[in-house]
Structure 1
Amino acid sequence: MNKYFLIVCLAICLDIHAQDDYDSMIAAMEAAKLQQDSIDMSRLVVVYGYECRTQDADGQAVVDRMKVAVQIGNHVTRSYPYRKFREDADAIDYLSPNNYPVLKAESYCFMPEVWTGYPEGKQTVRDHIMPNHYETCQALQPIRWTLKEDTVTVGGYLCQTATCELYGRKWLACYADDIPTTAGPWKLGGLPGLIVAAQTADGIHRFRLVSVQRIATPIYYEHNAITIKLSEEKLIKRRQKIFGNKHYPKCPTYYIPDRQSLNNSADVTFGQVGDDSFCIINGVLENHDAHVYQPLEIK
């Protein structure tokens, strides 16, 4: 029996009527809920700008951009869209029509949520392929970095450089060893200092530091989220099969045969911004068009 249920039962049994007691009960319920969902507290919150160089549905060169937040705790690091971090921190509804441009930008970038160190010694990833949400949980494997003697200044920090190959892509990273953490954006990490910039050798994917704040915020993991669990290898292959298909840029839902059935079975919200209508399915924006898929993981 969880704490949330116990608090409710206690409130009923004692027949609490006084406003002060009622307020205390609500506060206790919220604290119990927070305890259930929070797996660590951040000591640093780092924001990165992410860029992906690709092509639109007509083959024209475009650069997709979004912000990524990384919460760095004592045991767990969470990397995920900055929009969702603001949602958690400020209780803002970013699924509203006013935030349609942010959702649209995110839909082009294919950025998953990554918990490093949760569970202990593992890495958990959540991603979506409409209409489903997927989750993988793998043993945490150290990245084989090659440390270089080169130095560069990024965002006011004097940084060392390092290279690695990760999921079939070669990366160059700049890290600041005066910020004592091994964290970085996405699945990048394991260097003797905060990663403040990283890019693939071909220049397709880039992360660059926007800000660092020493603030305590709960690091959440939704234990009751509805996800399909599978191996990391299978999720990578599934993404490539669906998003890498030639039909995807012009028709992102080409692989969903029965759209009406989807509308009836999923959590679907329709909206309008100017002349542009949109649809949010299970919390994810459905685009009418898309950009050519540039996977972070090739293999």
Structure 2
Amino acid sequence: MKRTTIFFTLLLFLQAAQAQIESMMQTIEPALLECRYQWIQKTDTLGTEIAVDTMVLRIGKKVSQCYPQSTFSMDSLVNTPNGGEIFMQQMMDFMSKKRPRPGTKIINRYYYKNYPDGKFNTFAPTPIRIEENYQKQAWIIVADSTKTILGYSCQLATCHFQGREYKAWYTTEIPYQEGPWKFNGLPGLITEVYDTKNHYHFTLVSVKKDHLPPVCFYKLKAESLQEVPKKDRIAFLKESAKKNKHNFDFMETDYHE
């Protein structure tokens, strides 16, 4: 009887959470493909500690969105009725070592390629947005390089981008010039990408084509895109580095220059 009660309580909560999420979605366009990447980040300068999350990439005809799964789950929770109470209980369980720490695992950002047209927008929780020109990296394709990732035949490419050197494997078997985070512009889907110091590493773990949520703007912190104030990317990174005093650096290191 107790298990049945717990099951139906959980079911009702999940239904309420899904309804709340749907009410906060501003659809941009239908999704054609959803890819999930394992995201591993080193969290100290010695590389002895890591954080792991899932990066979701949802691709539409003109626009794509990308976000960490833990960030979305956390935002959805706190925007759900009684979500704050549930989060506090999770924190208490964490402090008593009954469960892992709740919340965002690596970074709380939402990324949109070509939204609005010709722009790349990053949304941070303050809320603020960082708007840049949407452009592909200056990739150099490595000839005679092959690797199989998730059953797809892949080829290697390299680039220098916003302060770091990156290597990326891509497959022409999935004909979308897309990838996680800001990466794009190769002749197929990026299946693995990492910087040469291996501080940040993304690896494709799943591809889904059917019954997808739309490419959308989640109105978790504001009612519309226009309500979110803009911030210069370099200024934002400098302020974040000064405020947070991390033991690791950002994916973009060009703010040092």
Alignment TM-score, normalising by the size of structure 2 = 0.73
Contact 2:68 2:107 in 1 (8 A): no
1:36: how far off?
Answer: 7.7
Structure 1 runs not aligned, ≥5 long: 1-29, 249-291
| Residues 60-69 or 71-80, more deviating | 60-69
Show the counterpart of 2:141. Answer: 147
Match 1:296 to one of 229, 251, 255: 251
Contact 2:163 2:252 in 1 (8 A): yes
Q: Does the C-alpha gap of structure 1 residues 35 and 89 become closer, same or farther in structure 2, counting only changes over 3 Å?
A: closer
Deviations 1:202-247 (Å, cap 9, x if unpaired)?
111100011000033122213626644212222222222223x2xx
The one-letter code matched in structure 2 to 1:218 is P
How many residues get paired?
Answer: 215
Show the counterpart of 2:7. Answer: none
Deviations 1:66-105 (Å, cap 9, x if unpaired)?
1110100111110101245568999x9586337664744x
Match 2:189 to one of 188, 194, 204: 194
Show the counterpart of 2:232. Answer: 231
Q: Does the C-alpha gap of structure 1 residues 147 and 242 become closer, same or farther in structure 2, counting only changes over 3 Å?
A: same
Show the counterpart of 1:46. Answer: 35
Show the counterpart of 1:127. Answer: 124
Show the counterpart of 1:173. Answer: 168
In the alignment, structure 1 residue 77 sits paired with structure 2 residue 64: yes
Show the counterpart of 1:214. Answer: 209
Structure 2 distance, partners of 1:233, 1:118, is 20
Would you tell me which structure has more strand in proportion to its own residues? 1
Contact 2:39 2:55 in 1 (8 A): yes
**Matched residue SS, 1:37:** strand
Q: Does the C-alpha gap of structure 1 residues 154 and 166 become closer, same or farther in structure 2, counting only changes over 3 Å?
A: same
Contact 1:69 1:85 in 2 (8 A): no
The one-letter code matched in structure 1 to 2:172 is D
Structure 2 distance, partners of 1:188, 1:53, is 19
1:113: how far off?
Answer: 1.2
Structure 1 distance, partners of 2:75, 2:61, is 19
Contact 1:45 1:213 in 2 (8 A): yes
Match 1:204 to one of 199, 204, 208: 199
Q: Does the C-alpha gap of structure 1 residues 153 and 136 become closer, same or farther in structure 2, counting only changes over 3 Å?
A: same
Alignment TM-score, normalising by the size of structure 1 = 0.63
1:185: how far off?
Answer: 0.6
Structure 2 distance, partners of 1:205, 1:60, is 11
Find the structure with the greater CA-based Rg. Answer: 1
Structure 1 distance, partners of 2:107, 2:23, is 28
Structure 2 distance, partners of 1:60, 1:239, is 21
Contact 2:40 2:52 in 1 (8 A): yes
Show the counterpart of 1:55. Answer: 44
| Residues 94-103 or 163-172, more deviating | 94-103
Contact 1:52 1:294 in 2 (8 A): no
Deviations 1:105-143 (Å, cap 9, x if unpaired)?
x24x12521100100111010124xxx222111221221
Structure 1 distance, partners of 2:174, 2:146, is 15
Q: Does the C-alpha gap of structure 1 residues 231 and 99 become closer, same or farther in structure 2, counting only changes over 3 Å?
A: same
1:184: how far off?
Answer: 0.6
Structure 1 distance, partners of 2:178, 2:69, is 16
Show the counterpart of 1:37. Answer: 26
The one-letter code matched in structure 2 to 1:52 is Q
The one-letter code matched in structure 1 to 2:34 is V
Structure 2 distance, partners of 1:117, 1:238, is 26
